[in-house]
Structure 1
Amino acid sequence: MGAAARWWASRVAGAAFVLWAVATLTFFAIRLIPGDPAEAILGGPGSQASDEALAAVRAEYGLDQPIAVQYVRQLGRLAVGDLGTSYSLREDVAALLGAQLPGTLLLAVLALAVAWLLALALATWSTRGGRVSAAVGSGLEVIAAALPHFWIAIVLILVFSTGLGWFPPISTPGVAGLVLPVVTLAIPLAGFLGQVMRESLLDALEAPFTVSARARGESEAGVRQVHVLRHAALPAVSLSGWAFGFLVSGAVVVETIFARPGLGRTLLNAVTLRDIPLVLGVVLVVAAAYIVVTLLTDAAQRLLDPRTRAA
């Protein structure tokens, strides 16, 4: 087996383990939430379901079995791709996720792209303008990274929706409805990526290959574009998998505030209603998307950095 085949085999095995671990932790975590799943299936505590109806539902869904039996049955269904039926919505979980996934993926991808652009622009500016710009850039990065999503969303709505009237306060179809949610997600991530990029830029500017490029007569702009930026992007590329997970977790808050359909809002409602199949489905889809993005970033890092291919 070649090195590339071994690399992919190890990644696939790791992905399978991650999906199993996520399914296991989610299954038992949702069981720790106070309440009766059978009651949730019948409409929640306000349904005033009779004992006979609760017993019938427990028998129908296998909730009267020991927790270990329920866990094994759930894993068996997941292994063949059966995500089950939502308790609260009475719809196929796979169909529900198929309808909600594109909106969340679009939001996360756009936010990642905006965060990259903001981080790159801030890191480049802060390393070019001397000590003052470096201090200002570093401060902006720390502040941006520390801001919570809900606070950013409220400020953006007050300024650009209520005050200026430029964008709608809730997410509407079209480009205008995406601007505020995307910027809300992108700002904290841009702070994290900006710190990493700035440190990498500073290291690359003093590296031997940069000194050699200047000695060959290359301009400062050419040195930065050809040599420095690619080197500085490597740590940020390796963080993009983590960044995607960060964005999806932030989407729970952003989609709720901006009333935007998506996996984050669906997950929040499912947890509230103790909808076990829907919670498991959302978490597994997010974990699978995270794994795919991580594999892509690993592959991109191998292309950008020949040292990783040699290793």
Structure 2
Amino acid sequence: MWRTRPGDRSGIRWRMLRRRLLSAVPVLLGVVTVAFGIVHMIPGDPVQIMLGTGGAFVDPEREAVLRHELRLDRPLPDQYLAFLAALLRGDLGKSLQTGEPVTALVAEAAGPSLALAGTALVLGLLLGAGGAVLGELTRSRLLRAMLSRLPVLAMALPAYWVATLLLQVFSFRLGLVPALGSTGPGATVLPAVTLALPLAGVVAHVLGSGLRTADRESYVLMARAKGATRARVVLRHMLRNTAVPVVTLSGTTVGSLLGGGVVAETIFGRPGLGRLIVNALQNHDYPVLQGVAAFLGITMVVISLIVDVAYTYLDPRVVSAAVWK
């Protein structure tokens, strides 16, 4: 059996990380290219759409200023290169609605969204993993049957219905948490639960299926033959070997939590990227849309790198396989 020493594993991880970083470059380029193409994929003249003229007379001077601000008065290759150069400097232009730098708007909205997405991710993982593990450990057939069906229910519930129900019960009737706003930990509870429930259902379904499959593996039978308790077998052996799909799922979910929290942010009156996207769409503020698209794409690439590194710690076979490459 091939084994690697701790020092060798560390070096292999660094080499894997360098390869992933190099492979992420074309992905990043594709992401920013899509963000650049948002304005150019708009049917019709984007400047007139942004000005909201509806075909009426447009002040030529105002139109010329807007075209210059968006670099639409240059050839397309020049526009693309200028966009890349500005992006490398952290300059995403200015909002057409407020005149503020897009970088500042995205950074301001990203903070609350990251906090909400992080809380929802942790809560969803805890609920989903806890339900899957409890369903594997319990000896009650009734409880196991209930836990096996709850994930489907959690995934099927519409987010707006869950948010409304949580507001009615915990804010308006019990008064335990504030209904609207973004200040204080209490204001994060209900929107985080709204986003976490579907994730918890998916995690419980994936992890529960993996645990049931692992229950028939030879290493589990060997551990039982050595006298290991049921809890030790599940927590020390089965859980680690079935955690890799959950890590992948968590990485891909962060992007949807960041960009897809429109319902939670709207119903609970929270600022964030979701509301920023909605406002930009309503006001045809395409520089803001470009900035948000670029930020979300870059965030997903960074998260995928973190997930790749996490694989090497959860599954040593990834490191061993890399030795032969």
2:94 corresponds to 1:85: yes
Measured in 1, the distance between the counterparts of 2:134 and 2:69 equals 63
> Once the two structures are superposed, what CA deviation does each residue of 1:29-55 show, in whole Å capped at 9, x if it has no partner?
34334575445766x449985233223
The alignment partner of 2:97 has SS state of coil
Pair 1:279 & 2:294 matched: no
Q: Deviations over 1:182-204 (max 9, x none)?
A: 00110011111111110111122
Describe the shift of the 1:259–1:34 C-alpha distance in structure 2 as closer, same or farther (beyond 3 A).
farther
The secondary structure found in structure 1 opposite 2:243 is helix
> What is the distance in 2 between the residues matched to 1:306 and 1:299?
11
Taking the aligned partners of 1:257 and 1:61, their CA distance within structure 2 comes to 33
CA distance, structure 1, for counterparts of residue 309 and residue 232 of structure 2:
26
> Equivalents in 1 of 2:44, 2:277: separation in Å?
17
Query: Once the 2 structures are TM-superposed, how far is the Cα of residue 106 of structure 1 from its aligned partner?
Result: 0.9
Structure 2 partner of 1:74: 83
Give the Cα–Cα distance (whole angstroms) in 2 for the partners of residues 248 and 59 of structure 1: 32
Structure 1: distance between partners of 2:184 and 2:224: 47
* Bigger relative contact order (CA 8 A; separation at least 6): 2
How do 1:143-154 and structure 2 match up within 5 A? 143-154=153-164
Task: Sort the Cα spacing of 1:261 and 1:40 in 2 relative to 1 into closer, same or farther, 3 A.
Answer: farther
8 Å CA contact 1:149, 1:185 repeated in 2:
yes
User: Which residue number corresponds to residue 264 of structure 1?
Assistant: 274
Counterpart Cα distance in 2 of 1:45 and 1:135 = 60
- Structure 1 counterpart of 2:229: 219
Letter in 1 for 2:152: V
**Offset of residue 115 of structure 1:** 0.3
Among candidates 241, 245, 260, match of residue 251 of structure 2: 241
Equivalents in 1 of 2:45, 2:162: separation in Å?
36
1:15 and 1:224 map into 2 onto residues whose CA distance is 36
Going from structure 1 to structure 2, the CA distance change for 1:187 and 1:19 (only over 3 Å counts) comes to same
Q: 1:30 to 1:141 in 2, by over 3 A?
A: farther
Aligned-residue RMSD, C-alpha: 2.5
Check 1:268–1:36 CA distance in 2 against 1; reply closer, same or farther (3 A cut).
Answer: farther
Structure 1 residue 8: deviation in Å?
1.8
Match status 1:124 vs 2:136: no
Higher deviation after alignment, 104-113 or 143-152: 143-152
Please say if 1:160 is aligned against 2:194: no
Name the amino acid aligned to 1:55.
A
Query: 2:189 matched to 1:172?
Result: no
Match of 1:138 in 2: 148
Partner of 1:57: 66
What runs of 5+ residues in structure 2 fail to find an aligned partner? 1-10
1:224-244 CA-partner distances (Å, limit 9, x unpaired): 222122223222112211111
Letter of the 1:103 partner, please give it: P
- Aligned partners of 1:22 and 1:54: how far apart in 2? 29
Partner of 2:301: 291
Quick one: percent identity of the two aligned structures?
Answer: 40
Looking at structure 2, the residues matched to 51 and 292 of structure 1 have their Cα atoms a distance apart, in angstroms, of: 43
Counterpart in the other structure of 1:21:
30
In structure 1, runs of 5+ residues without a counterpart are none
Q: Give, in whole Å, the separation in 2 of the partners of 1:289 and 1:32.
A: 23
Structure 1 position 195 matched with structure 2 position 208? no
* Contact kept? 1:240, 1:294, Cα under 8 Å: no
User: 1:114 corresponds to which residue?
Assistant: 123
Task: Report the counterpart of residue 32 of structure 1 in structure 2.
Answer: 41
The residue type paired with residue 145 of structure 1 is M
CA contact (8 A) 1:160 1:167 kept: yes
Distance 1:88 1:67, change over 3 A: farther
1:188 maps to a residue whose letter is: P
**71-80 vs 207-216, which deviates more?**
71-80
Q: d(CA) in 1 for partners of 2:299 and 2:195?
A: 18
Cα distance, 1:222 vs structure 2: 1.9
